[in-house]
Each structure stands twice: as structure tokens, then as C-alpha cells.
A and B are shown apart, each in its own frame.
Chain A
Amino acid sequence: MKKSVMIGLILSLVLLLSFSIVNAQDPVTLVYWSMWNETEGQARVIQDAIANFEAANPHINIEAVWNGRQNQTLVRTALSGGAQVIDLMDQDADQIAGGLMKEGFALPLNDYLQEPALDHEEPLADVFLPNTLNMFAVDGNIYQIPYIYNTVQFWYDKRVFEEVGIEVPQTWDDLLAACDALNAEGYAPIAAEGNEPGYAAFYLTELLARIKGPGWLRQAAADPTGEMWRDPAVLDAAQKTRQLWDNGCVPPETVGYVWPQGQNTLAFGTAAMELVGSWLPVELQNATDPDFQWGGFSFPAIEGGEGSVTDVNALLLSFMINKDTAHPDEAFDFLRYIMSDEIQQKFTDESLVGVTNLYIEWNPIIADASAAASAATSTYGDVDHVASLYSEYLNTVLYPNYVSLWQGSVTPDEYVEMMATQTAEYWAEHPQE
């Protein structure tokens, strides 16, 4: 009897001890500032992820602040105050690279990424689609976890192409021929936000990527002499830009469209296609008729060009962990969960976006974006990375001049001269380190 009492006592003690060890995990609060507004589809998926993660890790509490697209600016302001703790944030990958990452506030994640993924045996680094995780690496260090994947392609209504009897254009000439066929049937071939520099610059980015290959535009932007802009490829790209307008691909009134006026013409069925990110079907889901059949195709090849149609302009959205966080392990555990099959599938199913987990089948509405992402032989960021590397140059030299060309205020020859001269002037005023 005494012996059994003793055993019982010891067992109770062991149980008590192990219980207290479990509870000895100090409560952890992670502060996450988000680029989403609270009611957006993507925010709802993250809210579910937070709830599930907290349930599985009772000692962790995640406080989310839903800031919307000005998130990085608000994070910077808060962090500069010194009193605010922010462990995690998310934003467009290009913007993080040119902002907090460049300023040294991002935690390197290489070691964490070698740990196993949640649903797979391989390291987490291996579950990302090719050319995504490394897009913004610096000296081999990875500072971002890209979790949403947007491709820039032409988006169109398959029914219109079938009605007019045209195939997906493979070459620049095919595109011009498609414009003629669409015009003949009374469609405005290409919808565009004519007065939005960011949207207009998709054309410059794609044209130069196809003619000279990805990476050339960013080199031209950084050329302190500006002479690279005198390369015949730039004149060719500028002439092709104007060709779109002069051949009737882009209707003249487009020059006055600001977002979302251009894309609405696609939703209303008056226009046939638009070169834009794969977020378009989501943005237009309430404006298109229920039978709208979304299709996407990559920017056509240019004859004799060095680039390939499998070079993809990938506009990623990423998480970043603050290097000063007191809880890097817990913060990364949450990001590991964001990258799990369950949450990534939810993103694409519920908010119709592309994701970076290679095991996930994207929502059928953006199946063509998924195909492009899977087949990508190389990827490049916004304006061939000029947005993240030389953002002031982009805003003060590249955008204003390309918009002037795009809108027909200057000729292709004048554009080349302006870019060569102003690039040299810019770098004379802002010497590169």
C-alpha cells in the first residue's frame, strides 16, 4: 500500500512538473503590421491563419494592424519613433527591397529557410516556385518571404477572341494583326490606363525585356553616361510603343484614362485585352458578367530579340521580419504556417491570387498566370527592378518621359534624346555609391 502511494505521489509530481514546464513558455506577443485593409479577401485569409496559429500555439498572440497599401511608410514612421514594437510586416516585394530592407531593418532568413516546411520533408526554401525566393536576395542573404505571386501578362476575355477568330498572339506582328481583327469587329483591342505611369511602364519593361533580355533596362537606368539609352533597342521599343497607338491597338481616348477607367472598358466588353498584373480578375470580379472567361498570355516575342516569352515580370508580395524583433523564432514559425499548403491554397481559392508555394494549384480563373509562373526561366521585378533599386530616378526621369512618349507628347527620337540626357544629368546630381 505504502509503495503504491509512493508511486502515485511520484507520478503526480512528474505530471505536475511536466505541466509546469509546458506552462513555463512565456507568453509571446507578435505585432504584425499589414498592407491589407481589414475587409479584403487576403486579410481574411491572414486573419484565419492567425486564429489557427494562435490555437496551435496558445502562448503566442498575434496583434495585427491593418494599414493598407501605405503600410511600409507607416511602419517606418512608427519604428523611427522608437517606442513601437513591430515584429512582422508585409508589402510589395519591390517596395520592401527599396525601403526597409535597403535601410538594414530586415532579418536574414537563410538559416530558417533550411528548416523543413510544414507539410513537406524538404527545406522550406525548396517549396517556393523557381526564381521567387531569391529575387531580392542581397549577397546571398534572403530577407523576404514572398507569399503572393502576380504575373504581368495580357488579360483578355476568351469569348471575344473566339468570336473574332484570333489566336493568342505569339509575336509582335501577331499582336498587331489581332488589333486589326478586333478593330474590324468593333472592339477596342487594348484597354490601358493611359494616364498612369506605373501601368504605362509595363510596356517599356516588357518591350526591353523581349528585345534586350531582362536586366538590360536596369543597367540602362544606372548608366551614369546615359549613353545606353541611345542603343537602337530603345528607339525600337519607343517606336513600338507609338505603333500601338498609331495602329489603333489602343484607342485615342485612352490617353485620358486613370485607374480604373481603362480596365473597366475590358469589364464592360468594349475592349478586348489589357497588359496588367494577374490581380485584374480579382479587381474586376464584380464588374464582369458571370460568363466572362478569363485568359492570360505572355507579352509576345520580338523578332531577333534576346529575351524569351518565359521571362516573367513577377510582382511579388512579401513578409519581412524586423531584425530587432525579440521573437524571431515565433515570427518565422508563423511565416512557415503562411507558406503551408493549407493557407496558400486558401489564398488562391478565396482571394483569387497566385501564390508562391509550388505544390498549390492556383485558382482556375488565373490558370494562365500559374502556367507562366511555373514555366518561368527568369523573373524580374517592377520595371526590371528599377523600382526597388533607383526609385527616385524612376519617378523623376523614367516615368515622366515614358508617359510623355506613351501619350504622344514626344516622338520616339525625342524620347531617346531626353532619356540619354536626363539620365546623365540625374547621375551627375546623384553620384552612385
Chain B
Amino acid sequence: MKVSNRFIILLLLPASALYLTFFLVPTIQALVYSLYDWSGFGEAPRFIGMRNFQELMSDRLFWTSMGNTIAILIIGGIVIFGIAFVMTMMLSSGIRGKKFFRGVIFLPNIIAVIALTTLWGYMYTPRTGLFAAVFDALGLTELARFPWMGPDTIAAAMMIAIIWIEVGFYVVLLLAGVDKIPPDFYESAKLDGATDFQQFRHITVPLLSDVIAIGMVLWSIHAVKIFEFPFAFTGLEPNPNSYTVAVYLYILGFGQRQPIYRLGYATAVGVMLLLVVILIVLVLRRVTRREVYQY
């Protein structure tokens, strides 16, 4: 049955209209507002050209928050994919209870972020937290009092928690790809004497390249705009030295405790974030571009 182009366009119309209204138009509006000095309320926006972007270039907190965000993106990404690959190897090695372990590893993804931040906050609390109790029991009193959420280690503490939460998603993603690889490939490799690692290196990784690419893009977008966990993890009023870009944007535009309300400037931060995401996606697409295997 041949479907006419007109009919296809008709079917695409509602979704396209929604996409235009709720995504493209606000995105374009954001680009426009980033050129204005505007509180988001009251007085009319005042056109100031590129001044918001000029200010960003010398804004210490913006660069601090960008540094924190990039650290989460790169360090977090390397560790998450490293752990996810190891777990994928283990779970796809014919282990019993694969579905159970997969479910357990994925579990943090379905728990509310606030509950997770409370949990990790409790674990890290010196003297009375979970880690402190374990270290006390082991006689390591100095470690029991260690301030995990202090200025030198809060980024690492937050990163560990984020990795714990996120790994499950990427394990499930990679496992779904592995499950599609025909078992014959592995059987042939075994007959040829390939080790587990060699099978992983020469069969799993190449055949998963498109899944890995998608996973990396998803992680990059998520990491660059990460907000909920850092915002809730770092207390009532997050320490500015531990802001991520998204947290800084929110505080500038919408206020946490203090009424800053610089929506125009916050929008410029958002535009920078968008540019960073586009840049990362372009780089990743180029880096991960390779022959697509048909199987």
C-alpha cells in the first residue's frame, strides 16, 4: 500500500507543531533574551548586545562551575563507562541471576534524587554517618572523622555518588546491545582460542560501537546539564565553589535564597551550555564515526 506524502505530513504535523512551540521557539527566544538585561519580570528587557557574554568571560564563578561540570563530564564519564564495561562483561558471561543483578544495578535510577542525596549525605557525615560507623568499627577513628563533604573532597564525594547512580543505566544500555550480538560469533572465537578479553575487545566493542556512541552522547548531555543531584547534595545554599553550570544558571535566573533574578544573564549562561553540548556532540560524532557492522 502506497501512503501519500500528504498523509505522512498530516501525521507528522501535530508532533512537529508541539516541537516547534515548546522547543524551537523557546530556544530561539532564549538566544534573543541572552542579548538583553532583564530580570524576567517588571521592567521591560533592555537590549545590551553581547555584554552578557563579555561579562561571562571574566566571571570567576562561571568558570569555576564550568570546571566542575567538565570534571563530572570527563572523569565521571571515564569511570562510568569503565565500570559499565566490566559489569557488562561479567553479566554477559553466562552468570546465573543476570536479570536480578541487572535490576539491582539499575535500581538507583528509579529512586527520587532527593532520597539519594539524603542517603549519600548520611553516609558521608563525619562521626555519625555510615562510613564513619564502618571506620569506627575497624578502629580507623581518623577516617571516621574525615570531612568527605569538605572543600577538598566534595567534588570527589559527589562524583562517587553520581557514578553509583548512573552506572546502572549504561550497563542496561550496553547489555541490550550485547544481547543482540549473535552467540555464533563468540562460539567461533572460542574455537579459535580467543580469551574472554580478546572476545570483548574484537567482537563486543566493535559490534557495540553505535550503542557506545549513543551512550557517550547521552552521558555528555546529561553531565553538562546536571542539576538535581549537585543542587540537593550541597545543602540549603550550595557553596558557590561547588556549583555546576546548571546550578549557577538556576541561582542567577530564579534565585535560591537570594533574589538575584538576572534572567537575561542566566540565559546567556544557558546559551553557553547549549554551545558546549553541541560542540561535545560534534566531537563525539567525529571520534566515534566508524563502519557500521551488519549482523
Q: Which residues of A contact B (CB under 8 A)?
A: 72-73, 76-77, 79-80, 92, 95, 98-99, 102-105, 193-199, 251-259, 261, 264-265, 268, 270, 387-388, 391-392, 394-396, 399-400, 403-404, 407, 409, 422, 425, 429
Contact = CB atoms under 8 A, between A and B. Distances in A.
A50 B30 CA distance: 41
A95 B126 contact: no
B259 A195 contact: no
Contacts of B127: 253, 265, 270
B61 A257 contact: no
B241 interface: yes
Interface in B170-210: none
B258 A258 contact: no
Question: Most B CB atoms within 10 A — which of A254, A257, A387?
Answer: A257
Nearest to A387: B258
Interface in B248-264: 251-252, 254-255, 257-262
B147 A255 contact: yes
Given A256-B148, A261-B125, 11 more contacts: A73-B255, A99-B259, A196-B239, A198-B257, A252-B147, A256-B126, A258-B236, A259-B236, A388-B259, A395-B260, A400-B239
A259 B58 contact: no
A279 to B, nearest CB: 12
A147 B145 CA distance: 41
Contact of A403 (B39, B58, B241): B241
B258 A391 contact: yes
Given A193-B235, A195-B235, A197-B239, A95 B154 contact: no
Given A197-B240, A403-B241, A258 B235 contact: yes
B29 to A, nearest CB: 14
B158 to A, nearest CB: 11
Interface string B108-125: 000000000000010011
Interface stretch (B40-48, B95-103, B274-282): B40-48
Contacts of B151: 195, 255, 403-404, 407, 409
Contacts of A77: 40
Interface SS of chain B: loop
B55 to A, nearest CB: 6
A98 B258 contact: yes
A194 B259 contact: no
Contacts of A193: 235-236
Size bracket of the B interface: 35 or more
A334 to B, nearest CB: 25
5 contacts: A95-B255, A195-B150, A254-B147, A264-B128, A268-B128
Interface string B236-250: 110111000000000
A257 B40 CA distance: 34
Contacts of A395: 61, 240, 251, 258, 260
Contact of A195 (B39, B61, B154, B262): B154
Contacts of A264: 125, 128
Nearest to A407: B151
A252 to B, nearest CB: 7
A195 B149 CA distance: 8
A258 B260 contact: no
A394 B257 CA distance: 11
B236 A255 contact: no
Contact of A196 (B124, B128, B235, B258): B235
B40 A256 contact: no
A73 B261 CA distance: 9
Nearest to A399: B240
Nearest to A383: B258
A257 B122 CA distance: 10
Contact of A194 (B39, B64, B150, B240): B150
Given A99-B255, A261-B125, A253 B236 contact: no
Contacts of B257: 92, 95, 198, 387
Interface in B119-162: 121, 124-128, 145-151, 153-154
B230 to A, nearest CB: 12
B285 interface: no
Given A259-B235, A264-B128, A403 B240 contact: yes
B41 A79 contact: yes
Contacts of B239: 195-197, 399-400, 403
A258 B234 contact: yes
A259 B238 CA distance: 10
